Amino acid sequence: MTFHGLNQSLKIAIVCDWLTSFGGAERVILSLHTMFPEAPIYTSLYRKEGMEAFHDADIRTSFLQKIPGAVNHHQWYLMLLPYVFEQFNLDAYDIVISSSHACSKGIITKPTTLHVCYCHSPMRYVWDSWREYIDQYHFPSVLKPFIFWCLHDMRLWDRLAAQRVDKYMTNSEFVRGRIQKYYWSDAKVIYPPVDVDCFTPSKKYFSPSKEDYFLAVGRLVPYKRFDLLVDAFNISGLPLKICGTGSEMNRLKQCAKKNISFLGNVSDAELVILYSRCKAFLFPQCEDFGIAPLEAMSCGRPVIAYGKGGALETIVRNKTGIFFQEQTVESLLDALNRFSQMKFDATTIRKHALTFGPNHFEKAFLSALSRFWDDFAREKL
């Protein structure tokens, strides 16, 4: 049996940074597991709760797994992750696929092993966003010199580790540019999978004429810019529902007026209803790709997004959504005003979202991996 020219006898391993909660990166890993179910998954930490999709996988964790509390606080161990991934023994594999937004690309493989990295992003808190990372997370002043030193060392290691990758894939042209800038490597763009079968509009719930709220979904952390939404909707008075939890939740609640509701974490089934009934989905941050807008579009709903990053590659202007050009209250309010004068077709929006389904990802990934292996094998002859 072959996968687009890949012989099943090839020994394949998958490596990822951590498996502690399910998000966009974990959806990619799940697709890799679906394509290569016999391939073991090496990772620093694994939490079974909430990760039922991986219960049949052969998951091999690092020594961090034995440290009490580490699974819930993987951020504390960032400086140890280079050591963690360099310790994994991957000598037995023909192909190693790393799914990396932190340190998993830093694995060491033999010259006879092809290492392909699906890079979600060069580490933002090490490269282009390190100043914002320090400012937004309000580290004590006494710790800042130590943090500067740690990030400097991590930056040197990350640049070195990036050269251990034989071939890169990535999730957007936006991230491809960042890989070229910081790693001096090119990458094949393959958009990540969106669960368009789960997020589908239901006639039972699809009744936007009866609903008048806007919706935002995500982790409530500084760079997601939910503060911008709260400030704008405090002024507009329009109904806004926010799904998710995070470090900013209490502060945002204290600032929000009664027209803004915080729903916390919701199930996928609840989220489908919220997507299908909302007037529009709001996306105020700059993301490398952005799964949530496509989930909303898969439910037939338009998106109002900040016009930077991956959103420019997934949202069709004035067809599946609109953009605001600055992360300011004034710019967002202007977008809301423009949106109120426009009409969108739910069928057209969903049809666009379907082009980002898992089948498209798997077909493109396997095709690219096969070409990489053929070129690599010829070079080794």
Percent of the chain, pLDDT > 90? 74
Whether residue 199 contacts residue 190, with contact meaning beta carbons closer than 8 Å, is answered with no
Asked if residue 254 and residue 147 are part of one domain, the reply reads no
pLDDT of residue 337: 97
- Amino acid, single-letter form, for residue 155: R
Residues 57 and 37: their CA atoms lie apart, in Å, by 7
Asked if residue 244 and residue 271 are part of one domain, the reply reads yes
Residues 142 and 126: their CA atoms lie apart, in Å, by 20
- Strand 6-7, strand 2-3: pairing: antiparallel
Q: Indicate whether 162 belongs to any domain.
A: yes
Residues 15 and 203: their CA atoms lie apart, in Å, by 40
Q: Indicate whether 201 belongs to any domain.
A: no
Quick: pLDDT tens for 186-213.
Answer: 999 999 999 998 898 866 545 545 568 9
Residues 265 and 249: their CA atoms lie apart, in Å, by 12
Asked if residue 108 and residue 6 are part of one domain, the reply reads yes
Asked if residue 142 and residue 10 are part of one domain, the reply reads yes
Question: Which distant-in-sequence residues (6+ apart) come within 8 Å of 204 by Cβ?
Answer: none
Residues 100 and 264: their CA atoms lie apart, in Å, by 28
Q: What angle do CA 285, 288, 294 make, to 5 degrees?
A: 75
Provide the 3-class DSSP secondary structure of residue 283. strand
In which residue are the tokens 């710790």 written? 143
CATH for 79: 3.40.50.2000
Asked if residue 142 and residue 256 are part of one domain, the reply reads no
Distances from the Cα of 309 to the Cα of 26, 94, 114, 121, angstroms? 20, 34, 30, 12
pLDDT tens for the chain, residues 1 to 381: 345 557 778 999 999 999 988 888 899 999 999 999 999 999 999 998 888 899 999 999 999 999 988 888 777 778 889 999 999 999 999 999 999 999 999 999 999 999 999 999 998 878 876 566 666 555 566 666 677 778 888 899 999 999 999 999 999 999 999 999 999 999 999 999 999 988 988 665 455 455 689 999 998 988 899 999 999 999 999 999 999 998 899 999 999 999 999 999 998 899 999 999 999 999 999 999 999 999 999 999 999 999 999 999 999 999 999 999 999 999 999 999 999 999 999 999 999 999 999 999 999 999 999 999 999 998 876
Q: Indicate whether 203 belongs to any domain.
A: no
Question: Which distant-in-sequence residues (6+ apart) come within 8 Å of 356 by Cβ?
Answer: 191, 192, 193, 194, 196, 294, 314
Asked if residue 32 and residue 95 are part of one domain, the reply reads yes
| DSSP state for residue 70 in the 8-state scheme | G
Whether residue 99 contacts residue 14, with contact meaning beta carbons closer than 8 Å, is answered with yes
Asked if residue 276 and residue 161 are part of one domain, the reply reads no
Whether residue 256 contacts residue 249, with contact meaning beta carbons closer than 8 Å, is answered with no
Domain that holds residue 305: 208-354
Provide the 3-class DSSP secondary structure of residue 130. helix
Q: Indicate whether 241 belongs to any domain.
A: yes
Asked if residue 222 and residue 343 are part of one domain, the reply reads yes
pLDDT of residue 71: 85
pLDDT of residue 87: 96
- To which H or E segment does residue 233 belong? helix 226-236
Asked if residue 189 and residue 149 are part of one domain, the reply reads yes
Asked if residue 368 and residue 313 are part of one domain, the reply reads no
Helix axes 268-277, 291-298, angle to 10 degrees: 70
Sign of the torsion angle spanned by Cα atoms 130, 131, 136, 141: positive
Quick: pLDDT tens for 344-369.
Answer: 999 999 999 999 999 999 999 999 99
Residues 147 and 307: their CA atoms lie apart, in Å, by 31
Q: Indicate whether 158 belongs to any domain.
A: yes
Q: How far apart are the first and last CA of the chain?
A: 23
pLDDT of residue 140: 64
- Domain total in the chain: 2
Q: DSSP letters of 165-229? A: -SEEEES-HHHHHHHHHHH---EEE-PPP--TTTS---TTT--GGG---EEEES---GGG-HHHH
Residues 249 and 262: their CA atoms lie apart, in Å, by 8
Asked if residue 361 and residue 324 are part of one domain, the reply reads no
pLDDT of residue 144: 66
pLDDT of residue 2: 43
Q: Indicate whether 202 belongs to any domain.
A: no
CA of residue 347 relative to chain centroid, distance: 26
Task: Record the tokens describing residue 210, joined without a space.
Answer: 């009866």
Provide the 3-class DSSP secondary structure of residue 322. strand
